[in-house]
Amino acid sequence: MNVLFIASECTPFIKTGGLADVIGSLPSSLKKTGVNVSIMLPKYSDIPEEYKQEMKLIKTLTIHVGWRKQYCGLFKLDQNDITYYFIDNEYYFKRNGLYGHYDDGERFAFFNHAVIDFLPYLEEKPQVLHCHDWQTGLIPAYIKTMYTYQPFYRELKTVFTIHNLMYQGIYPATIFHDLLNFSDDHYFGIEFNGCINFMKAALIHSDVLTTVSETYSNEIQYPYFGENLEGILTYRNEDLHGIVNGVDYEEYNPETDPYIFKNFKYSTIDKMVNKRLLQEELGLPKAEDIPMIAIVSRFVEQKGFPLIRHVLEELLSLDIQLVILGTGDHEFEHAFKEAAYRFPEKVSTSVTFSEPLARKIYAASDLFLMPSRFEPCGIGQLIALRYESVPIVRETGGLKDTIQPYNEFTSEGNGFSFSNYNAHDMLFTIKRAVKFYNNKEHWSQLLENVYQSNYSWEHSAKRYTDLYMKTLKV
């Protein structure tokens, strides 16, 4: 079975968030189930030169974007038994940054057109096009409408994964005739409140829809999480599947990770060595018996930072250390930098993003805080589990699916959680976690449960494979 992943980012080539981690790691696990996966991406200027040097040009075409005729090149690179294809056009992709440009609608309309037109020139014809997020949302619509009568495209099946419903690719209705090449009778399949919505186009036209956790697949069928698309998602309920993301257990492995101070395995003292050395590096007092709470995240409202800011003084009255890494909204950056200035013996704030420092924080911390307002899946809590940092999460989306609250009576659970989006509920849960940290018997049991948690891609890859097989039989 041949499956083509189509996405806007992928590790190790280019990354802004968790989407890149999924596209970079899931295909290898799918290969182990017998699925032949290749990947198609834009050829951004920010891709490291070492990868560009390995790419080979295999085809050029003229792509029609409305009345425009644009050069497009298709480059190929083979790495780790995966074939990657890159769509090249310097006007659209030779820029700093992936998103946030004034003409993103045109840029990704071009990308969608180019993907469709290059399909006949790939080494192996795909049977399933697996499209990811709004940047690829027009592709299922083209397959089901403009291309459905062409023999090459007629049997192609489309799977579309929602990684975050908040980001939909909404643009003025004028681009319908100017850029998209659809006929007029297809307008209402992609129209949304008088605008064009790339996400809606995919939700209407894809054969199968997936999202990145079971709970999120249910949540987005209700107005609070549905971002005004809950009606469509409810209508397509039988075609919507929640499959929780995994992490690459070879990439995130405390026994071999080159970024951390000292590699460790469960129940060794080397985890504590990482804590002491990170405290030294960040200028915090060396204290093995004080719980270190970590935050590694984008500083945005979605991630629950209003809750943290609201009770920050009360939180820092506890006997803890708080280590924060990330960038985002200025108000949160300022609040955390101010906290580090006022409480230098309790708080370290690094307003940047550094993969080596992030790994050190995962490996050194005792607790990992993710109080998200909503979280389609989340990767931070999965990495934390891998490095034996006990997650504290709000019960939403993938956080609810992957973290079970510790029960001191049954000794079950791999973390701590709270259900209401409320600052003092969060604070109460943090206090509870600190209490169990100071109870060595319970803490030992909790770490055993964390160690036994397995969120590698193996199980999820099997579910995707079964879904592809089912889709091809429809």
- For the chain, the domains span 2-246+458-473, 270-452
- In CATH terms, 270-452 corresponds, of 1.10.10.350, 3.40.50.620, 3.40.605.10, 3.40.50.2000, to 3.40.50.2000
- Those residues with Cβ within 8 angstroms of residue 184's Cβ, 6 or more apart along the chain or in another chain: none
Query: In Å, how far are 200, 230, 391 from 421, measured between CA atoms?
Result: 28, 21, 17
How many CB atoms neighbour CB 287 within 10 A?
14
Has residue 98 got a pLDDT over 70? yes
Average pLDDT, the chain: 96
Choice among 16-20, 326-330, 467-471 with the minimum mean pLDDT: 16-20
Which residues sit opposite 299 in a β-bridge? 328
For residue 394, give the nearest of 416, 364, 363 by alpha carbon. Answer: 416
pLDDT of residue 167: 96
Cα separation, 37 vs 303, whole angstroms: 32
Distance of CA 337 to the CA centre of its chain: 26
Distance of CA 224 to the CA centre of its chain: 21
Has residue 59 got a pLDDT over 70? yes
In terms of pLDDT, which residue wins out, 181 or 257?
Answer: 257
How many CB atoms neighbour CB 167 within 10 A?
17
How many CB atoms neighbour CB 318 within 10 A?
16
Would you say 225 and 165 are in contact if contact means Cβ atoms under 8 Å apart?
A: yes
First to last CA, the chain: 15
Cα separation, 56 vs 88, whole angstroms: 11
pLDDT of residue 201: 98
How many CB atoms neighbour CB 292 within 10 A?
24
pLDDT of residue 67: 86
Would you say 88 and 43 are in contact if contact means Cβ atoms under 8 Å apart?
A: yes
Q: Read off the pLDDT band of 474 (50, 70, 90).
A: low
pLDDT of residue 66: 86
For residue 159, give the nearest of 20, 375, 1, 377 by alpha carbon. Answer: 1
pLDDT of residue 268: 79
Tell me the whole-structure pTM to 2 decimals: 0.94
Tell me the per-residue pLDDT of 208-244, one tens digit each, with 9 for 90 and over. Answer: 999 999 999 999 999 999 999 999 999 999 999 999 9
Has residue 295 got a pLDDT over 70? yes
Written as one letter, the residue type at 214 is: E
pLDDT of residue 244: 97
323: left (phi over 0), alpha (psi -120 to 50) or beta: beta
Written as one letter, the residue type at 145 is: T
For residue 267, give the nearest of 443, 455, 416 by alpha carbon. Answer: 443
Tell me the per-residue pLDDT of 370-407, one tens digit each, with 9 for 90 and over. Answer: 999 999 999 999 999 999 999 999 999 999 999 999 99
Would you say 375 and 399 are in contact if contact means Cβ atoms under 8 Å apart?
A: yes
- Those residues with Cβ within 8 angstroms of residue 156's Cβ, 6 or more apart along the chain or in another chain: 119, 126, 127, 128, 129, 143
Has residue 417 got a pLDDT over 70? yes
Cα separation, 239 vs 421, whole angstroms: 30
Q: Read off the pLDDT band of 266 (50, 70, 90).
A: confident
- Those residues with Cβ within 8 angstroms of residue 48's Cβ, 6 or more apart along the chain or in another chain: 13
Distance of CA 319 to the CA centre of its chain: 33
Q: Which helix (H) or strand (E) holds 424?
A: helix 423-437
Query: In Å, how far are 250, 417, 455 from 392, measured between CA atoms?
Result: 24, 6, 17
Cα separation, 441 vs 325, whole angstroms: 31
- On the question of a common fold for 2-246+458-473 and 270-452, the answer reads yes
For the domain covering 2-246+458-473, report its CATH number: 3.40.50.2000
% of the chain surpassing 90 pLDDT? 95
Cα separation, 239 vs 244, whole angstroms: 16
pLDDT of residue 309: 97
